[in-house]
Structure 1
Amino acid sequence: MNEHLKISDRGLVALMIHEGIVPGPYLDSVGVWTYGVGHTRAAGLPDPKYMPRGMPADMDAELSEVGALFRKDIEKYAADVRKAVKVSLAQHEFDALVSFHYNTGAIARATLVKTLNAGDRAGAGRQFMSWVKPVEITGRRKSEQALFLNGTYPTGNINVWQVNGSGRITWKAARVLTSAQALALVGTASAETAPDTGPIGMGSKGPRVSQLQELLKDLGLYAIRVDGHWGQGTENAVATLRSKATEAEKIINPEAVR
């Protein structure tokens, strides 16, 4: 049902804004050894506990390693979301759930997913706020909730934080990356970020279809859920829009439309 979905570039940036980048092992707020963009042993090897401590001698090389590992981790967590969710998702909903699962590891057991699978999207959105321990995570959870419910992506730069040899973040930025620079590390700032200017139509999928559906919904022509898939409902709404545009043009300029 959601087989075509993968986390978008905006979803990757949002996740990196939430996590930050730490180019050496550190202890997170609950004492778990972590590295890079929130990588822990739960995601697989390497185990940050046994990685060299402190800041790297070659920052560029280390950030390349961070980006490659983050991309690998994301594929795992995105696959978990696709497996757990049994209803069709819009891109922004999928991105929010991947961020939630990346942080909690709870996509298979969370009540919000059970609520979502039962068809209650609003209820699922509210249940994001059931996951606010430790309290420092509250801001992130509110951001994920806004993304899930409204498609509102966080914006900003991504901090590369300094870390000492004891695994403590000093909260001094070694670098500050733009979204484009961060995506380049992950290896997606090419095909996925290239302008999509070709025509779309019946059977098309993706963010442009979602944008079209949202516009049609605003015009009162589309009552189905925004899902980024051009099916018969979208086709009918576009046909109605074109028909109304022709009728309007006949009124505006009768000579031009015969």
Structure 2
Amino acid sequence: MALTTSRNGVLFIACREALVLTAYPDGPHPSIGFGHNSAALKIGDKIEVADAFRLLRDDLAKWEDGVNRALKAPVSQHKFDALVSLHHQSGNRYMPAVAALCNAKEFDVAAALFPLCDRNLAGEQKDGLRKRRILESAVFSAGDYGALDPIPYWPGDPSTTARQQYHLQPGDI
């Protein structure tokens, strides 16, 4: 049976991606919400928080599919959530190796691999990625999602507006 990301998994990813309700320049296409990229977006487009979570769920569906296809052995919900977070943020660079370890039931080795998956597309080691990988490893190993509220929030382009905190409201997710 295919797994989907749990509520805690969605919130874990949301806290690592951060909430931006106004589309801003981010690579080849604008981003909005929790890192949703689309050529259909225009800089300055706005959405509501519930829309940001809907877009995140839609985006996660494709990453969940990739994780489910890669896994041949069952994993716990928290392991799946960590794998989706890794796959969502890094694409397919690390998923084959981590999934192979999970399929071999080498979960301790897989957990130890997470912090080493800290390079961007250019192959540069990034401290922010290492920090995220360490947090994902804690989710993977022990189901420790850490604090899931508040969520980092920027009211506009993160490069020009100050970071704030968004506290979850009923109906957001």
TM-score of the pair, normalised by structure 2: 0.82
TM-score of the pair, normalised by structure 1: 0.57
Residues in 2 aligned to 1:23 and 1:79: alpha-carbon distance in whole angstroms: 27
Corresponding residue for 2:92?
106
CA shift at 1:142, angstroms? 0.5
Describe the SS at the equivalent of 1:170: coil
Deviations 1:67-98 (A, max 9, x none): 22112112221121111111111111011111
Q: Please, which of 81, 84, 88 is the counterpart of residue 95 of structure 1? A: 81
Residues in 2 aligned to 1:103 and 1:16: alpha-carbon distance in whole angstroms: 11
Deviations 1:227-252 (A, max 9, x none): xxxxxxxxxxxxxxxxxxxxxxxxxx
Give the letter aligned to residue 146 of structure 1. Answer: A
Deviations 1:97-120 (A, max 9, x none): 111111111277531222222221
Whether the 8 Å contact between 1:159 and 1:177 is mirrored in structure 2 is no
Residues in 2 aligned to 1:169 and 1:70: alpha-carbon distance in whole angstroms: 23
Whether the 8 Å contact between 2:114 and 2:133 is mirrored in structure 1 is yes
Structure number with the bigger relative contact order (C-alpha 8 A, sep ≥ 6) is 2
Residues in 2 aligned to 1:26 and 1:137: alpha-carbon distance in whole angstroms: 21
Q: Please, which of 147, 154, 162 is the counterpart of residue 171 of structure 1? A: 162
Residue 26 (structure 2) pairs with residue 35 (structure 1): no
- Cα gap change, 1:17/1:112 in structure 2, threshold over 3 Å: closer, same or farther? same
Give the letter aligned to residue 171 of structure 1. Answer: A
The percent of aligned pairs where both chains have the same amino acid is 27
Corresponding residue for 1:184?
171
Residue 152 (structure 2) pairs with residue 162 (structure 1): no
Q: Please, which of 22, 25, 28 is the counterpart of residue 23 of structure 2? A: 25
Residues in 2 aligned to 1:141 and 1:15: alpha-carbon distance in whole angstroms: 12
Moved runs in structure 1, 4+ residues, more than 3 A? 107-110
Rg bigger for which structure? 1
Q: Please, which of 2, 11, 14 is the counterpart of residue 13 of structure 1? A: 11
Show structure 2 runs of 5+ residues with no match: 120-125
Cα RMSD for the two superposed structures: 2.4
- Cα gap change, 1:5/1:169 in structure 2, threshold over 3 Å: closer, same or farther? farther
Whether the 8 Å contact between 2:82 and 2:140 is mirrored in structure 1 is yes
Residues in 1 aligned to 2:25 and 2:45: alpha-carbon distance in whole angstroms: 14
Residue 145 (structure 2) pairs with residue 136 (structure 1): no
Matches within 5 A, 1:240-255: none
Matches within 5 A, 1:179-258: 181=169, 184-186=171-173
Give the letter aligned to residue 20 of structure 2. Answer: V
Show structure 1 runs of 5+ residues with no match: 41-45, 187-258
Residues in 2 aligned to 1:83 and 1:95: alpha-carbon distance in whole angstroms: 14
Whether the 8 Å contact between 1:24 and 1:53 is mirrored in structure 2 is yes
Corresponding residue for 1:215?
none
Describe the SS at the equivalent of 1:136: helix
